[in-house]
Amino acid sequence: KAMSIKMYVNGSDRKGHINPEIYGHFSEHLGRCIYNGIYVGEDSNIPNTKGIRNDIVEAFKNIKMPVLRWPGGCFADEYHWKDGIGEKSQRKKMINTHWGGVTEDNSFGTHEFFDFCEMVGCEPYLSGNLGSGTVREMSEWIEYITSDNDSPMTQLRKKNGREKPWKLKYLGVGNESWGCGGNMSPEQYSALYKQYQTYCRNYGTNQLYKVACGPNGDDYNWTKVITENITPWHTNAVSLHYYTVPTGKWEDKGNATGFTDEEYYITLEKTWYMETLVKRHCDILNVNNPENNIKLVVDEWGTWYNVEEGTNPGFLFQQNTMRDAMVASINLNIFNSHCDRISMANLAQAVNVLQALILTEGEKMILTPTYHVFDLYKNHQNAELCYSSIEDEKQEGYNLPVISQSVSVNSDNEMTLTVSNCSLTECRTIEADIRGFSFDSVRARILSAESNAHNTFDEPENVTITEFDKITKIDSGITFTLPPCSVVEIILS
């Protein structure tokens, strides 16, 4: 018999708006994320539109991908956008020194990225080059993309086939400026940030939402110093990067598959550390920005394992199991629960890199367990977070909550509960007391498999979403039993 746990939900106690961008993604010029991933070129036999894989566009549309960050990552601080426009055969080649030392032909540039975002229907989020680019270069990129005036930059854009400006909201000014983006101190970065962002103008009706480079994990001093120097006048948000590395050691991070139960629980324990990080950085923001108009953008998160055997170590290609699905579920519930301060989050990365949504091999494509979690959570986008809590129970031997959850109500008056059970051996019966919300119908979907289960090119549907009908409506709400290692989406209406 499954152990029973009480959950409390109040639909009329609203805690804040869940920005769709919390369900955002990240695509870097790294390994096979862009080239031989999203972008296969117009001459490819793989069905594509302007060189962009149609199956990937469809998959991203299905999860309502709200925003995509590009071109990096570390790559962004050595990317020179003018090398990636104009006639493709004339584009300058470049060496991707960060990732595998490969030569790129710059055939995927600004126009291709904006085309891709238009096909998917998502917001573009650009990372500007502060590390090795100039103030003028960043300023002209914004002018090229967003201005409708007659100017050398807009003439150049028109010459390259785009008459009307694009809309661009999200702009990051430097990436990991404490590390690969220039090895700066927070004082040095704050000064440069203010200078660079000054010349990133709002043309016409376009309004930029600027993101300053925030801390590496628990570097609280970075957050403190930059928010003492950078004000809401200069920025809309600061970023946070935190990766879940099972061993905590970069030299040997642990493998994506074939892990033990202990490694599984430790990985989830490490991913729950996101809660501590978000809380503490928010504490600093609450001191330095009590008006809450400098938001937190977690623009890199996810698992980082050893690369798959036989693959280029610089390409960061890893498999994706049910453990990654649990990681995604836990993080997304954390982001939801802090939606008063978190305005965006971007999983690293979208295709073939780190905790990917999609893996490709030639024309084959698989959706990973992580992809399915984004599918299960899409109803939270644009909804209002509401009060929810669950009896505190820790996995024996670990500082790890067994259940992770969040609840929202959307504009169609649907209540969405996303709940996961990380135990590998025990079912949990959850009795959810639901106040402040009335409903007649219940529908639900589930993702559940053993921890190491994953999809392969031969077995692409090994881990996939199924209907979940083991829910009973009771006087006080609902009751349901979660199998071990499972993530569930329940919609009440």
User: Contact positions toward ligand AHR, by CB under 6 A?
Assistant: 28, 72-74, 175-176, 300, 348-349, 354
Distance separating alpha carbons of residues 302 and 349, to the nearest angstrom: 8
* Smallest separation, CB 437 to ligand AHR (Å): 39
Name which of 27 and 451 has its Cβ closer to ligand AHR: 27
176 is catalytic: yes
In this structure, are residues 328 and 422 in contact, taking their beta carbons and an 8 Å threshold?
no
Alpha-carbon 30 to chain mean position:
16
* Smallest separation, CB 98 to ligand AHR (Å): 7
Give 234's contacts (C-beta < 8 A, 6+ positions apart): 193, 194, 197, 210, 212
Q: Give the active site residue among 21, 123, 137, 176.
A: 176
* Smallest separation, CB 181 to ligand AHR (Å): 8
Residue type for 258, please? G
Q: Give the active site residue among 112, 137, 300, 489.
A: 300
Give me the helix-helix angle, 322-337 and 261-288, nearest 10°. 20
* Smallest separation, CB 74 to ligand AHR (Å): 4
Name which of 59 and 348 has its Cβ closer to ligand AHR: 348
Classify burial at 66, counting beta carbons within 10 Å of its beta carbon; exposed 0-12, middle 13-18, buried 19 or more.
buried
In this structure, are residues 304 and 256 in contact, taking their beta carbons and an 8 Å threshold?
no
Distance separating alpha carbons of residues 196 and 72, to the nearest angstrom: 18
As a three-state string, the secondary structure of 99-131 is CCCEEECCCCCHHHHHHHHHHHCCEEEEEECCC
Name which of 28 and 112 has its Cβ closer to ligand AHR: 28
* Smallest separation, CB 136 to ligand AHR (Å): 24
DSSP 184-210: --HHHHHHHHHHHHHTS---TT---EE
Name which of 121 and 248 has its Cβ closer to ligand AHR: 248
Query: Rounded to 5 degrees, what angle do the CA atoms 344, 350, 356 make?
Result: 110
Residue listed under structure tokens 């031997």:
397
* Smallest separation, CB 378 to ligand AHR (Å): 23
The residues that bridge with 479 in the sheet, in sequence order, are: 431, 472
* Smallest separation, CB 205 to ligand AHR (Å): 31
Name which of 235 and 318 has its Cβ closer to ligand AHR: 318
Residue closest to ligand AHR (Cβ): 73
Give 84's contacts (C-beta < 8 A, 6+ positions apart): 91, 106, 108, 109, 110
Query: Rounded to 5 degrees, what angle do the CA atoms 327, 331, 332 make?
Result: 115
In this structure, are residues 26 and 299 in contact, taking their beta carbons and an 8 Å threshold?
yes
Name which of 38 and 339 has its Cβ closer to ligand AHR: 38
* Smallest separation, CB 26 to ligand AHR (Å): 7
Name which of 353 and 365 has its Cβ closer to ligand AHR: 353
Give 274's contacts (C-beta < 8 A, 6+ positions apart): 242, 244, 298, 301, 330, 331, 334
269 is catalytic: no
Alpha-carbon 294 to chain mean position:
19
Name which of 73 and 477 has its Cβ closer to ligand AHR: 73
Comparing CA positions, the residue from 85, 176, 162 lying closest to residue 129 is: 176
Residues labelled as active-site residues: 176, 300
